[in-house]
Structure 1
């Protein structure tokens, strides 16, 4: 028992050290400061029933600085809540803004990839950089200019500057920080940038920049037409075409309030977690390992104390604290909230496991949908 627990603690120590190295050495950090780019940039904003939250996003786009050639192209993707009227009211007669009316996705396409495809193919061909932004993202004034600068400095085809995730509810604090924690802990960032392997890729569609020529070479969103995780799949398509990708901490450039309540958060993760893991056996293996590494130690510590074995309790407590430390490092590196949220990390892993199980269950029953459209 003691030897097995010691081995687990050593694994946790190695993973936490990897988190720290990724966060401290390899994570790109574009700064939000006065910077000028001389390229034509198109910011592409797909909208479907976003009347209640598009205003802050669009206002932040209209106040972008440092990009004289900025154009904003908005697609109303079949909204029924007056989203287009809100866009017109906020944008007024600003010549930089173009509002398009989308068409329903044809067979073989999911809604988000098709909306992005329409935006990219109906944008001024003079734009050399395409910046995809979601309606729940609010950019700082130099965000686009800083992100384009980082894209070129990295020599990348695609750059994903991950926004600071705004958390307000207990559910937010339990689940949302896992996004950054997972890739900082388990993804070798330096190797991801250097390796041509498509399987070694990460990206977030909330704020994503891509070189126009490289996007076309990768097949654009047509290459990921039926993919739930179209952002990650687009990054993989870029790698397959010979391009490079890069991940950055975009917490100084953008913030994102992804979900307003628990049902939205639950359903948002449920629709896509099955696509993250692939086969159910792979998902079961990953979830079991996460539970063993991050949930078992505090349970073992409590059991050991009750049984009067302080050495075992101390080892198990060390494992728990290493997991908490990894969460703290991740939060501080990405603009998140560290305390006291990190103390509940074992509970976060349990919730992630439940959401994963729910995702596979509903997919098997063909009951997954998002924004009124089926996703599987």
Structure 2
């Protein structure tokens, strides 16, 4: 137990200093000097059964205070809840930016539904506008009135081909408080934002809820066709852009929020488990390594503290307490970003256990033929999986 706990503490020492300072939450939009000329922008919104959230999100896009020309293309991906009709009604009611609502029909062979909808929206934008930038944003994302202006200014001022913000997810219920900040914390640990934003670095990622993409960079990278099978489409998109020589940036949002509710554990569980095994490239070896890593890094410290306290073993107790303290300390900035109380930080091992179980469940569902299921569709393992980050 002493040696295992010492290994956990060593892992936390490395994570603290050697993993791109993933735990810091100060990576925000870079220089936002207004450009001399505001380029045209096409906003593409894929939507499937989003009638519940559209009244809170679509008006925020219609109301964008953008000095240049912008147009919205909402693509109804086979909804059964009246999403398309509601979107048209909201457009008539709120006015603002021009809105086109269309549907592409069922996805073509080898396409995921969202990317099929994105493809259709991008095609509409190319046919009807001369947009220099595409804003790809999910139907559950609400934007402050200056969000588009700030994104474009940052892209222009810093010469970026892709600017993506991790939307601030809703945190209202007890389960959301326990799981949602940790979701962003673990994402940043896997894809440290500073590494993503480093020119010439290998790490690439984006947050699919809010991606501003230069149209020329999208065409050069073959977006979206080159990633048509991707379940984790935002990361695949960022990799494609970076591989083709584009400059990308990812950070936390200040003006972009998700309005999608996760009222209980089940929808949160589904949110994570639907893509967790795909993230591991459907590899049993990577699954085993991930489970072992999560156990050693997150579960061993509190277990060592409990065992040391009960058995009078000073070594495991001290080492476990130190590792647990570092763990909680790295989580505090994310809790502050989400305006949550600091006492949630010591509960991170329990949250990590839930994520471990979600990941195992994701693999189980995959081998039962129900992997990557979302809104009535199940996606098979891609023929050519993406490389690991």
TM-score (norm 1): 0.91
Any idea what the Cα deviations from partners look like across 1:78-137, whole Å, max 9, x if unmatched?
Answer: 111111221122110736111112211011111011011110111134111111111111
**Residue 286 of structure 1 pairs with residue 287 of structure 2:** no
Equivalent residue for 1:317? 321
Would the alpha carbon gap of residues 33 and 153 (structure 1) be closer, same or farther in structure 2, given more than 3 Å must change? Answer: closer
Q: Is the 8 A contact 1:203 1:232 kept in 2?
A: yes
- Change in CA separation of 1:33 and 1:245 when aligned onto 2, cut-off 3 Å: closer
Partner of 1:113 in structure 2?
Answer: 115
Question: What is aligned with 1:267?
Answer: 270
- For structure 2, the 5+ residue unaligned runs are 381-389
SS at match of 2:224: helix
**C-alpha distance in 2, partners of 1:106/1:266?**
29
Listed one character per residue, the Cα deviations across residues 213-265 of structure 1 (whole Å, up to 9, x for unaligned) are 10111111111111101111111111221112111111x11111444333222
Q: Secondary structure at the match of 1:343?
A: helix
1:97 is aligned, of 92, 95, 99, to 99
**Whole-Å Cα distance in 2 between the matches of residues 330 and 320 of structure 1?**
16
> Is there any run of 5+ residues in structure 1 with no aligned partner, and where?
none
Equivalent residues in 2 for 1:65-76, closer than 5 Å: 65-76=65-76
How far apart, in 2, do the equivalents of 1:358 and 1:99 lie?
A: 37
Contact 2:33 2:154 in 1 (8 A): no
Q: Which residue of 2 aligns with 1:217?
A: 220
The 1:132–1:32 alpha-carbon spacing in structure 2 relative to 1, beyond 3 Å, is same
State the partner residue of 2:387.
none
* Matched position secondary structure for 2:197: helix
Match of 1:150 among 148, 154, 158: 154
2:237 alignment counterpart: 234
CA deviations 1:160-218 (Å, max 9, x no partner) are: 111111112233223222332124334443333335465x2111111111001101111
- For the Cα contact (< 8 Å) 1:8–1:319, is it kept in 2? yes
For residues 298-353 of structure 1, the C-alpha deviation after alignment (integer angstroms, 9 at most, x for no partner) is 11101101111234312211111111111112333x44535332221001111111
Which of 184, 187, 190 is the equivalent residue of 2:188?
A: 184
Cα distance in 1 for partners of 2:101, 2:42 equals: 13
Q: Given that residues 51 and 86 in structure 1 are in contact (C-alpha distance below 8 angstroms), is that contact kept between their aligned partners in structure 2?
A: yes
- How big is the alpha-carbon RMSD for the aligned residues of Structure 1 and Structure 2? 2.5
Worse-superposed segment, 260-269 or 291-300:
260-269
* Native 8 Å contact 1:16 1:325 kept in 2: no
For residues 129 and 303 of structure 1, do their structure 2 counterparts lie closer, same or farther at Cα, with a shift above 3 Å needed?
same
CA drift at 1:144: 1.0
2:167 maps to which residue?
Answer: 163
1:147 to partner: Cα distance: 1.2
Match for 1:363 among 350, 362, 366? 366
1:32 touches 1:142 (CA, 8 Å); kept in 2? Answer: no
Query: Does the residue aligned with 1:220 lie in a helix, a strand or coil?
Result: coil
Give the superposition deviation at 1:146. Answer: 0.7
Distance change (3 Å), C-alpha of 1:192 and 1:285: same
Secondary structure of residue in 2 paired with 1:46 = strand
Aligned position for 1:87:
87
Q: Which shifted more, 108-117 or 235-244?
A: 235-244
Secondary structure of the residue aligned to 1:194 is coil
- Greater Cα shift, 366-375 or 230-239: 366-375
Conserved? CA contact 1:30–1:146, under 8 Å = no
Question: Retained in 2: the 8 A contact 1:151–1:158?
Answer: yes
